[in-house]
Structure 1
Amino acid sequence: MISKTVKGNSTEAIKKEIDKATSDGFEPTLAIVFTSIKQDWKAIIDVLNQKEIAVFGATTSGEFIDGDIEEGSIVMMLLDINPKHFRVLFLETGEHTTHENAKQIGIAGKNTFNNPAFIIASGWLHIDGEKIIEGIIKGFGNEVTVFGGMAGDDLAMQGPLVFTNEKSAVNGLLALIVDEDKIEINGIATCGWKPIGTTKTVTKSEGNIVYTIDDKPALDMVMKYLGLDIDLDSGNDVLTNIGAYYPLQLERENVTPVMRTAMWGNKEDRSLICAGTVPQGAKVRFSLPPDFDAIEQVIDECKEVKKERQKEADALIMFSCISRHLSFGILMTEEIEQVKQVWDAPMVGFFSYGEFGKSKTGKHEFHNNTCCVVALKEK
C-alpha cells in the first residue's frame, strides 16, 4: 500500500498537489481529508469525486501533516488501498439516534468483513462519545477495534462536521471500515498527564455533568483547588483554563485512568460540563500541565506498539485533543514529529474535540486530552 500526504491553503492549491502526487501513475482509491471549517470542503469533495477517490473527511481545530502543524488549511492522505478491503459508511442523526447509528456501523462491519476494524469521526453530536463506542460494541461485539476523533471547528464550538463523497452533516457519524485480514491496524490512545493531589469522589453527577465532588460544588472546588480566577461570562475561558491544563483523571482498577475535559462551567448550579461521562461515585484526581515527560511517555507507548504489535507502517493517522495543543504550546510539534519518527511513515492528523481508542491497559473507549495514533500496514 502506497500513501502520500498533501496540503494546501485553498482548493486550487490542494488540487495542484493532488495532480502532482498522481503524476507518476499513483492511483489512490481513498483520501483521508482533514480541513479547517473555513475552507471550501464541498469544493474539495468535488475535486476528489472527479478522480473517483473515496472520501473520509472531518473539519478540524488545527491540522498536522507529517511533522508540521497547520492552521486554517487542508491536509490530506491519499492511499491506494484495494477498494474491496475498505468501506466508507456515513449515517446522520435524525430518524435514528447516534447510538442506534453507531450500532448499525458495528453491524455493517460484521456483515462486510470477517475481521473488521473501525476508524471513525463524528460531527457536532450532543451525545457522550462513550455512547458511540457502546453502540458499535452492541452491533459488532466486545472484541472491537475502534480508533478516531470528534471533528473540530477552529474552537468556534458552533458546528464541526464530517463528510464523504455524497454526504455531509454537522450531526453525522462517519466510519472507515477496514478488512484487518488484508490491512493490519494497531494503535494507542495515550496522554502522559500526571495526577496531582489526593483522590476525590464524584458525589453527584448525571452523564457528563458533574455537580459535586466530595459533596462540594464541582466548579467551586476546581477553581479553589487549582487557584484559578475564571470569568464565567467569557465563553472559552473555562475550556482553556480548566479543560486544557487541568483535566480530570478517572481512576479505575488495574487499567489506565481515562481523561475527562471540563468544557464549561455552569455559574448557576456551579456544575462542570465535561466532554465525556463521569459516573457518580467515580474516583478522580486533577492533572498537572504536561511537560517533556508527557511527550516521552507518549513516544514510549508508541514504540511499545511498534515493538510488540506492528513493526512497520504504510500510513499513520493521529487524532490529538485540541486541549493538548492549548496546553503543550510549542511542545506539540515535538510530540508530532517524534510520533512520526517511530514508524517513519507518512502521517496526517487533526486536533479534535474527543478521541476514540485503546489505552495501554484499557479497552477501546472514549477519551479527552489524549492523542490517538493509528498505524496501517498492508499485509
Structure 2
Amino acid sequence: MISKTIKANSTEAISNEIDKAISDGFKPTLAVVFSSVKQDWKAVSDILDKKEIAVFGATTSGEFIDGDIEEGSIAIMLLDINPAYFKLKFLETGEKNSFENAKSIGVYGKESFANAAFIILSGWLTQDGELIVQGFTEGFGKEATIFGGMAGDDLLLEGPLVFTNSQSSTKGLLALIIDEDKIEINGIATCGWKPIGTAKTITKSKDNIVYTIDNQPALDMILKYLGMENEFDSGKEMLSQLTAFYPLQMERKGVDPVMRTAMFANREDRSLICAGNVPQGSKVKFSLPPDFDAIEIVIDECNELKSNHQQTADALIMFSCISRHLSFGILMEEEIGQVKDVWNAPMVGFFSYGEFGKSKTGKHEFHKNTCCVVALKEK
C-alpha cells in the first residue's frame, strides 16, 4: 500500500497537488481529507469524486501532514488501498441517536469483514462520545478496534462536520471500516498530562454537565482552585485559558484515568459543560499544564506500540486534541514530528474536539486531551 500526503491553502492549489501526486501512475482509491471550515471542502470532495476516489473527511481546528502544522488549510492523504479491503459508512443522528447509529455501523462492519477495524469521524456530537463507543461494541462486539476523532471548526464552536463523496452533516458519524485480515492496524491514545492535588468528588452531575464538585459550584471550585478571578467572555476563551491547561482527570478502577475538559461554562447555575460524560460520584483530579515530559511519554508509548505490535507502517493517521495544540504551542510540531519518526511513514492528522482510541490498558474509549495515533500496514 502506497500513501502520499499533500496540503494546500486553496481549492485550486489542492487540485493541482492531487494531479501532481497521481502524475506518475499512482492510482489512489481512498482520500483522508482534513479541511478547515474556511475552505471549500465540498469542492475538494467533488474533485476527488470525479477521480473515483472515496472520501473520508472532516473539518478541523488545524491540520497537518508529517510535522508541518497549518491552520485554515486542506491536508490530504491519498492511499492506493484495494477497494475490497475497506468500506465507508455514513449515518446522521436524527430519528436515531448516536448509540443506535454506531451500533448499526458495528453490525455492518461485522457483516462486511470477519475481522473489521473502525476508524471513525464524528460531527458536533461531543456529549455522545461514550455512546458512540458503546454502540460500536454493542453492534460488533467488545473486541471492536475503534480509533478516530471528533471534527473541529477552527474553534468557532458552532458546527464541525464530517463528509464523504456525497454526504455531509454536523451530526454525522462516518466510519472507515477496514479488513484486518488484509490491513494490519494498531494504535494508541496517550496523554502525558500529570495529575495534581487530592482527588475530588463530582457531587452533582447529569451526563456531561457538572454542577458541583465537593458540594461547591463547579465553575467556582475550578476558578478558586486554580487561582483565577476573572470570568470567561466566550466558549473559546474558556477552552483556551482553562481547559487546555487544567483538564480534569476522571479516575476509574483497573484502567487509566480518562481526560474530561470543560467546553463551556454556565454563569447562571455555575455548571461546566464537558466533552464527555462525567458520572455523579466520580473522583477527579486537576492536571498540571504539560511540559516536554508529556511529549516524551507520548513518544515512549508509541515506541512501545511499535516494538510489541507493529514494526513498520505504510501510513499514519493522527487525531490530536485541540487542547494539546493550545497548551504546547510551537512544541506541538516537535510531538508530531517525533511520532512520525517512530515509524518513518507518511502522516496526516488534525486537531480535534475529542478522540477515540485504545489506552495502555487495552480499552477502547472516548478521550480528551489525548494524542491518538493509528498505524496502517498492508499484509
Q: TM over 0.5, yes or no?
A: yes
Q: CA deviation at 1:212?
A: 1.1
What SS does structure 2 have at the residue aligned with 1:365? Answer: strand
One-letter code of the match for 1:21?
A
Q: Deviations along 1:235-264, whole A, 9 cap, x unmatched?
A: 322211221010000112232110001111
Which whole-Å CA distance do the structure 2 matches of 1:284 and 1:191 have between them?
16
Q: Deviations along 1:93-131, whole A, 9 cap, x unmatched?
A: 122222111111100100000000000000112642111
8 A contact 1:275–1:354 mirrored in 2: yes
What SS does structure 1 have at the residue aligned with 2:235? Answer: coil
What SS does structure 1 have at the residue aligned with 2:228? Answer: coil
Report what 1:178 is aligned to.
178
Q: Deviations along 1:191-247, whole A, 9 cap, x unmatched?
A: 100001111111111111111111111111100001123323333222112210100
Report what 2:273 is aligned to.
273
- The alignment's C-alpha RMSD in Å is 0.9
Report what 2:244 is aligned to.
244
Which whole-Å CA distance do the structure 2 matches of 1:362 and 1:290 have between them?
24
The aligned length equals 379
Which whole-Å CA distance do the structure 1 matches of 2:230 and 2:334 have between them?
30
One-letter code of the match for 2:10?
S
Report what 1:134 is aligned to.
134
8 A contact 2:98–2:128 mirrored in 1: no
8 A contact 2:200–2:213 mirrored in 1: yes
One-letter code of the match for 2:346?
P
Map of 1:1-379 to 2, 5 A cutoff? 1-125=1-125, 127-379=127-379
TM-score with structure 2 length normalisation?
Answer: 0.98
8 A contact 1:209–1:278 mirrored in 2: yes
Aligned in 2, Cα 1:236/1:229: closer, same or farther, shift over 3 Å? farther
What SS does structure 1 have at the residue aligned with 2:306? Answer: helix
Q: CA deviation at 1:85?
A: 0.3
TM-score with structure 1 length normalisation?
Answer: 0.98
Q: CA deviation at 1:80?
A: 0.5
Which whole-Å CA distance do the structure 1 matches of 2:305 and 2:346 have between them?
17
One-letter code of the match for 1:25?
G
One-letter code of the match for 2:245?
Y
Percent identity for Structure 1 against Structure 2:
74
8 A contact 1:123–1:150 mirrored in 2: yes
Which whole-Å CA distance do the structure 2 matches of 1:230 and 1:134 have between them?
38
What SS does structure 2 have at the residue aligned with 1:224? Answer: helix
Gaps of 5+ in 2: none
8 A contact 2:127–2:274 mirrored in 1: no
Which whole-Å CA distance do the structure 2 matches of 1:122 and 1:105 have between them?
13
Which whole-Å CA distance do the structure 2 matches of 1:91 and 1:292 have between them?
40
Q: Which moved more, 1:212-221 or 1:124-133?
A: 124-133
8 A contact 2:157–2:236 mirrored in 1: no
What SS does structure 2 have at the residue aligned with 1:290? Answer: coil
One-letter code of the match for 2:101?
N
One-letter code of the match for 2:260?
R
8 A contact 2:126–2:276 mirrored in 1: no
Q: CA deviation at 1:165?
A: 0.6
8 A contact 1:232–1:267 mirrored in 2: no
One-letter code of the match for 1:3?
S
What SS does structure 1 have at the residue aligned with 2:187? Answer: strand
